Amino acid sequence: MPRNMDVLPLFQRSEITFDPIPRFIFDGHLGSELEAGRISRDQAIAMLDCMMAIRYFEETVAQMKAGRFKPRPDFRFIGASHLSIGQEATAVGAVSAISPDDYITSTHRGHGHSIAKGFFWLLGRESDEELEAFIDGYAEPSGDESLLDTAIQVHLNRTMAELLGKEEGYCHGRGGGMHIADFHAGHLGANAIVGGSYAMAVGAAMASWKLDLGRIVLCFVGDGATNNGIAHEAYNWACQEQFDEGIPVIFLIENNQYGMTGQQFGEVTGVEDLAQRGAGYNDVNMNAEVLNGMDAIAVHDAVMRAAELCRSGKGPVLLESKTYRYMGHSLSDNCTAYRTDAEEAAWEDIDPIDHIKRAVVEHGVLTDDEVVDRCQRMKQRIIDATTWAVDATDPDPSEIYRGLFVDTTSDDIGDEWATPKELLLEEPAYTRRDGQGRILYRHAVAEALMEEMVRDRRVVLYGEDVADYGGAFGATRGLLEIFGRDRVFNAPISEAAIVGTAAGASMVGMRPVAEIMYIDFILMTMDQTGNQLAKNRYMFGGKATLPAVIRTTIGGGRGYAGQHSQSLEAIVTQIPGLKVIAPATAYDVKGLLKSAIRDDNPIIFIEHQHCYTEKGEVPEEEYTIPIGEANVVREGSDVTVVAYSYMLLRALEAAEVLAEEGIDCEIVDPRTLIPLDEETIAASVSRTGRALIVQQAPYTGCFGEHIAHRIMESCWGDLEAPIRIVAAHDVPPPMAEPLENENIPSVEKIANNIRELVGR
């Protein structure tokens, strides 16, 4: 399957030019939008109500934090509080301009986004049954108000409850104000990592496009986030030329002028308008535009136009909304160190809520008295929500693990998601077996991917060089020819975006398999791996499902030295929320990779560079291997050797050498590191009385130390000798052959340690 074009040496003298990026082009007002039918009277009232809800909500949080408002005498407010007072027009103008079922991602300053998304989602419900289902368990319908009014009160109640860490909160108190999510409303989560949701939003938009969901993603980010590396990775990803249609994502920068205390213009950037960055990513400047973020009608206009572009395949869109936060970065910041009174007063003079109040009166939507009445009613709603939240249930400490993992898989999907034969470019074919039914480990990887991609069209494969080239180790060779570039495509050298997009895509229904070429490179991804992929399910109250597989390799022994040879599996095993698998044989890698793709949890799937060329017996018939079950590869009576990945093969060689000396080794391959099959390991050690753990990672801090600790806890009374660990030296992998050979546990070193352990 040839590429789209040849890259030829053309050096003709010319210039690179850019089209202008428009600033503040909206010259209408509420009246003109009402007349044109772009905003209805009811929608204008809803915008006013929602902006007031956000303002009063945030002011109430500030009052509680300062102790000026105590819903109960013994109440004490804890938790972070990053308020968006002054920024209400951006949140409401933007969310009111997209469809109720579109997605958003949010920031640590995201209470307003969450309130707005739920508010307009509820307004978009078309039946009483949907509203009744929403309020069920949280309120009883009242004859004094409509179902919609009750539902809005429940929404405000649950939002405040999450800030106060209550079980009735949207995330059951696991996330709090900086990590609130509302999945039934398409709110994919707020993010306390600056810029953390950039790639996730792109992944969700990519999945919406590929799965034909018809939804766009509105990605709220702050001005400070635009200076983070993931911002540029996400922009580039969304603008890739290889995507036939534009990714339907709107990046909406809420430029409130300060990234904590760093001033965007004149201090920490070299541009006046952050929208200018769009010129660096495609020929249409990412359709970038600068807008007045203090005017909800102007924001509505810009986002509505951006949404139309995205729905017509012309995304992505980059919008910069110029706004202002009246308060500090957090409530411990009084702003006096870096802002002047004159600056604050100038922005407060164009207050967004004053603006919308005047607009609805001036254009005949409401009278002054009606506006005052609605303000008073909304203020009471927030007081009622706060009181309800304070009295809500504290989470039960005995359920602290609830929501960490999900126990579902896609095993039983039947033919619902099967790839139609007409979409296969070639007939899938199995690797030819040798006379013993064996194939290479890397061929087993490719077969697992092939079978699962045929079985489930939601499975896509991407990473650096996985398409035409077949991956650095040939493990994905042939898949492009079967499934085409829609399902198998090269990613930019952008590891954080590879993992982040996988997280976002999996949250909205895709089942991505993303490759990080070497585990050394996973250090480039650690925010997206550790703070997004691993945490989102638990942090968002167990509601998110992230069936993403991140394939990567460990290794050494090829002279690749310190940045292509490490065994860093212990790093990912320390992050709760990830499953970690490290198979050693061709049979296991195929069966476990298939199980990993079907599992509804995020999985780090570790392949070894040396295992790729090892042969093993692999049937063509369908099979999977349960995740979390160790394998007793060799039975013995004198010592238990626990080894995984390539070290299993060396341990087996050592066992054969020692068998000739009368030492009988039992070899246990955990196969899965998280969850670890402690029972099988402990049963073996209890029989033999001795344990030796072999691994290629450096000794200090290795996963073998955890295995040793669990053996000690389970088998203390049965141990006849101290547990030993055979591991690499505490150095980065060296390049020189004699140093590398010394660093990687050899058959001889393993055998010598076993001899000493059994007293021979």
Examine residue 673 and state whether it is found in any structural domain, yes or no. yes
Q: What is the SS3 assignment for 583-641?
A: CCCHHHHHHHHHHHHHECCCEEEEEECCHHHCEEECCCCCCCCCCCCCEEEECCCCEEE
Residue 671 sits in a domain of what CATH number? 3.40.50.920
| Residues 195-248 pLDDT 10s | 999 999 999 999 999 999 999 999 999 999 999 999 999 999 999 999 988 999
End position of a domain, from candidates 571, 587, 617: 617
Whether 718 and 662 map to the same domain: the answer is: yes
- The answer to whether residue 81 scores a pLDDT higher than 90 is no
Question: What rounded mean pLDDT belongs to the chain?
Answer: 95
Whether 652 and 613 map to the same domain: the answer is: no
Examine residue 413 and state whether it is found in any structural domain, yes or no. no
Whether 589 and 730 map to the same domain: the answer is: no
The sheet carrying 639-643 orders its strands as 631-634, 665-669, 639-643, 691-698, 724-728
The stretch 675-693 carries a mean pLDDT of 98
- The answer to whether residue 3 scores a pLDDT higher than 80 is no
Whether 259 and 159 map to the same domain: the answer is: yes
Q: Which domain holds residue 192?
A: 45-333+355-391
End position of a domain, from candidates 585, 617, 649: 617
Whether 717 and 603 map to the same domain: the answer is: no
Whether 237 and 315 map to the same domain: the answer is: yes
Contact 171, 146 (CB under 8 A): no
The stretch 657-668 carries a mean pLDDT of 97
- The answer to whether residue 261 scores a pLDDT higher than 70 is yes
Beta bridge partners of 213: none
pLDDT band at 76 (very low <50, low <70, confident <90, very high): confident
Q: What is the pLDDT of residue 482?
A: 98
The stretch 370-392 carries a mean pLDDT of 97
pLDDT band at 659 (very low <50, low <70, confident <90, very high): very high
Examine residue 397 and state whether it is found in any structural domain, yes or no. no
Whether 183 and 76 map to the same domain: the answer is: yes
The stretch 697-705 carries a mean pLDDT of 97
End position of a domain, from candidates 617, 644, 661: 617
The stretch 61-78 carries a mean pLDDT of 87
| Residues 404-445 pLDDT 10s | 999 999 999 999 999 999 999 999 999 999 999 999 999 999
Q: What is the pLDDT of residue 687?
A: 97
Whether 452 and 546 map to the same domain: the answer is: yes
Whether 434 and 519 map to the same domain: the answer is: yes
Q: What is the pLDDT of residue 4?
A: 66
Examine residue 348 and state whether it is found in any structural domain, yes or no. no
- The answer to whether residue 760 scores a pLDDT higher than 90 is no
SS3 content of the chain, % helix, strand, coil (to 5): 45, 15, 45
Examine residue 139 and state whether it is found in any structural domain, yes or no. yes
Examine residue 414 and state whether it is found in any structural domain, yes or no. no
Q: What is the pLDDT of residue 328?
A: 87
Examine residue 526 and state whether it is found in any structural domain, yes or no. yes
Taken in order 366, 367, 368, 372, the sign of the CA dihedral is negative
pLDDT band at 299 (very low <50, low <70, confident <90, very high): very high
Q: How many CB atoms lie within 10 A of CB 151?
A: 26
Whether 251 and 130 map to the same domain: the answer is: yes
| Residues 572-603 pLDDT 10s | 999 999 999 999 999 999 999 999 999 999 99
Contact 358, 130 (CB under 8 A): no
**Choice among 564, 608, 706, 709 that is catalytic:** 564
Examine residue 37 and state whether it is found in any structural domain, yes or no. no
Q: What is the pLDDT of residue 77?
A: 84
Q: What is the pLDDT of residue 335?
A: 87
Is 709 tagged catalytic? no
pLDDT band at 1 (very low <50, low <70, confident <90, very high): low
Contact 614, 586 (CB under 8 A): yes
pLDDT band at 12 (very low <50, low <70, confident <90, very high): very high
pLDDT band at 79 (very low <50, low <70, confident <90, very high): confident
Whether 542 and 638 map to the same domain: the answer is: no
Alpha helices in 189-337 (DSSP H): 198-210, 229-238, 296-311
How many structural domains are present in the chain?
3
In terms of Cα–Cα distance, which of 629, 740, 636 is closest to 692? 636
Residue 540 sits in a domain of what CATH number? 3.40.50.970
Q: What is the pLDDT of residue 74?
A: 85
Q: How many CB atoms lie within 10 A of CB 709?
A: 11
Q: What is the pLDDT of residue 70?
A: 85
Whether 511 and 377 map to the same domain: the answer is: no
Most confident of the following: 5-9, 332-336, 675-679: 675-679
| Residues 515-547 pLDDT 10s | 999 999 999 999 999 999 999 999 999 999 999
- The residues, any chain, with a CB within 8 Å of residue 716's CB and separated by 6 or more, are none
pLDDT band at 716 (very low <50, low <70, confident <90, very high): very high
- The answer to whether residue 5 scores a pLDDT higher than 80 is no
